[in-house]
Structure 1
């Protein structure tokens, strides 16, 4: 049975922290025409969530173009919740932007009313994060505070504290993504997730990246992770798997649990 969070985050009928691990497909399109085309294609794969990685956009300095693209994207994906991510260059973002420029793009994009969740790095200073929180509050959208480490897997204690820090700062969802060197690192990530699930109340997203960490994208929900990333059109991070494979594994796990529960009920009745 998937571990559930005490607090649920519900966005357009999708439940973060519930009985199902949600599947998110990223969009890393370089221009508006590609963005809309790619969005229509991945919608056919029926993801639970879509993430737009805006830092891949070639005309990122043209805020009006971003806003126009966002409005069209929102129409194309209809009722699928949208995560807006303008990733910092220090944590995998494709372009360097000043913090003032990031705030400007984020605020004007959110003001369109087309964003459901914003993913922002917990490593930003508190002045920046407080500005983000004010924008979030004014627009009544959900905040994902995230930590990324593309070089290694920190200690279990460090990862656990990062998840806790996200909740303390005001995240609706706390996220960590790390790079394992071996399966011992994968176990550290899963154990930190399991411990966090029993400490924090909010939903979690935890991922071990790369081929070694791919298993966490399939079974993370059993330890308390509430969303995984898959490949629809193109991958936005190392280790992402095709959505069809993720769905197949999640269905197997779900059916296995159902069969086990049915057997247990039968045994109880027989007694």
Structure 2
């Protein structure tokens, strides 16, 4: 029997939470020129969504340059949905920041008016996270709330609880990434995904990272993950698969009933 589907979330022209998992690719350029130069190859690969990893951007601390670059990126992407993400160093990102600086950058990204979705890490100050969720929703920006464990795979109940807490805090989509040490860890992640997509009111994104976890990036439609991250050029996390390899696999695994 086809698994129960979550509430659909629309991000620009993209419908997340229905059908096969959509494909996102990262942009990790350090300069505006690098970022814009990555776009033609990405557009040629036809992903569903682009994730701009602003923690790699050299001028991320300059509000004017951040917004100008985001606006130029938005213009050249055409109809492709754009997710803006600052990944903190504690969750595998490229730059260490104070709490205040993290929230300032996220607020600056929202104020730039260029992004369709914003990644907000769950494990920061609750009041500040919820304030940004409200700001995003006022601007019709989708909030993907996230948590990344690069050391281990938590217990199934812990993964589900973390995802549920994101929904409780106002996330439109809840995201969890783990690092498996065994095949059993991958099964734990998949079981947690299945439980979450059956019990939560919002879609989820999950993945087990590294080579062991690659199967989790392929099986999202069966277990309930609505987005898979792939590569055109540089990867942003271990275990990502190229778009040209991932797309036909996702199409082959599409549920027809």
TM bucket by the smaller chain?
over 0.9
| Distance in 2 between residues matched to 1:59 and 1:142, nearest whole Å | 24
| Distance in 1 between residues matched to 2:135 and 2:2, nearest whole Å | 33
Question: Which structure has the larger Rg?
Answer: 1
2:185 is matched with 185
Contact 2:20–2:251 (Cα < 8 Å) also in 1: no
The alpha-carbon deviation at position 108 of structure 1 amounts to: 2.2
Contact 2:130–2:170 (Cα < 8 Å) also in 1: no
Aligned length, in residue pairs: 257
Contact 1:5–1:202 (Cα < 8 Å) also in 2: no
Contact 2:6–2:198 (Cα < 8 Å) also in 1: no
Are 2:97 and 1:102 aligned? no
| Distance in 1 between residues matched to 2:183 and 2:204, nearest whole Å | 21
Gaps of 5+ in 1: 262-271
What is the correspondence of 1:161-180 to structure 2 with a 5 Å cutoff? 161-180=161-180
Q: Secondary structure in 1 aligned to 2:45?
A: coil
Contact 1:179–1:210 (Cα < 8 Å) also in 2: yes
Are 2:90 and 1:90 aligned? yes
* Deviations 1:55-99, CA, capped at 9 Å, x for gaps: 011122222111111011001111111111011221112111222
| Distance in 2 between residues matched to 1:249 and 1:143, nearest whole Å | 28
| Distance in 2 between residues matched to 1:4 and 1:142, nearest whole Å | 22
What is the correspondence of 1:240-255 to structure 2 with a 5 Å cutoff? 240-254=240-254
| Distance in 2 between residues matched to 1:244 and 1:2, nearest whole Å | 27
* Deviations 1:156-208, CA, capped at 9 Å, x for gaps: 11101111111111100000000001111000000000111110011110000
Contact 2:130–2:169 (Cα < 8 Å) also in 1: no
Q: TM-score, normalised by structure 2?
A: 0.96
Q: Secondary structure in 2 aligned to 1:44?
A: helix
Contact 1:152–1:179 (Cα < 8 Å) also in 2: yes
2:154 is matched with 154
Gaps of 5+ in 2: none
1:194 is matched with 194
1:220 is matched with 220
| Distance in 2 between residues matched to 1:134 and 1:190, nearest whole Å | 31
The alpha-carbon deviation at position 4 of structure 1 amounts to: 5.3
CA-based RMSD of the aligned residues comes to 1.4
| Distance in 1 between residues matched to 2:55 and 2:11, nearest whole Å | 23
| Distance in 1 between residues matched to 2:48 and 2:3, nearest whole Å | 19
| Distance in 2 between residues matched to 1:112 and 1:40, nearest whole Å | 23
| Distance in 2 between residues matched to 1:164 and 1:59, nearest whole Å | 34
Contact 1:2–1:221 (Cα < 8 Å) also in 2: no
| Distance in 2 between residues matched to 1:191 and 1:25, nearest whole Å | 25
Q: TM-score, normalised by structure 1?
A: 0.91
